[in-house]
Amino acid sequence: MKSAVVVFPGINRERDMMVALETVTGHKPFAVWHTETELPKVDLVVVPGGFSYGDYLRCGAIAARAPIMTDIRAKALKGLKVLGICNGFQIITEAGLLPGALVRNSHLHFVCREVKLKVENNHTFFTNKMTEGAIVSCPIAHGEGNYICDAETLKVLEAEDRVVFRYAEGTNPNGAMNDIAGIINEQGNVIGMMPHPENMIEPLHGKTDCRPLFESLLAA
């Protein structure tokens, strides 16, 4: 499996993601700088977490308009798998690859801790090695992870089983609607999520709860 990780100014989780991908898949990802205009030939592109452009203007808004995003959007429309984590979720949502928006946490504080995630859909390219309904631990670190959308969009997401992850056991850290922690697009090739699964895949992390997510990429 060939993958690429996009690097923006201010992004700080690209190395974590690259290590996770290489550790589990056995292939070293390409690092793609935001000013490049074309992706290498890959099966997956990951937009990682961090604070692109210092979160100025609006989280993900500037990065979503970077040169490389034009090619990512075009190839996503043709079926390329795209995974956005935390700030990456914000970026791909700002870029129009997913519906809704990520806004300030309801309590207006930055949160950095562990939450419980419930796997709502195990038929995606990132969850096929998981059990539907499984609850796993996963770290978070964000100030604007409160997922919102209009009532009709929410109805469609729920009806079409496009909510991939929810915060479980009362651990919703940001006020997201319906405890939504991650969603998938209608075509099934773009996933965005706020938690950081790349930081819980090996024993030194304390737990390996999220390793099957990366194993799912290989199976897909």
210 included as an active-site residue: no
Question: How many other C-beta atoms are found inside a 10 Å radius of the C-beta of residue 186?
Answer: 12
In this structure, what DSSP letter does residue 131 have?
A: P
196 included as an active-site residue: yes
Q: How far is CA 141 from the centre of its chain?
A: 13
Residue whose token pair is 């419980």? 116
86 included as an active-site residue: yes
Bridge-based pairing of strands 44-47 and 101-103 is: unpaired
Report the distance separating Cα 7 and Cα 14, nearest Å: 7
- Return the SS3 of 25: helix
Sheet of strand 135-142: strand arrangement = 30-33, 3-7, 44-47, 81-85, 190-193, 180-184, 163-167, 111-119, 135-142
Q: Which of 59, 86, 138, 210 is labelled catalytic?
A: 86
Q: Which of 138, 144, 149, 196 is labelled catalytic?
A: 196
Q: Of 202, 192, 165, 164, whose CA–CA distance to 16 is shortest?
A: 202
CA distances (Å), 174 to each of 12, 21, 113, 140, 210, in order? 21, 27, 12, 10, 21
Q: Which of 34, 120, 198, 210 is labelled catalytic?
A: 198
CA distances (Å), 88 to each of 23, 151, 199, in order? 21, 24, 15
The catalytic residue positions are 86, 196, 198
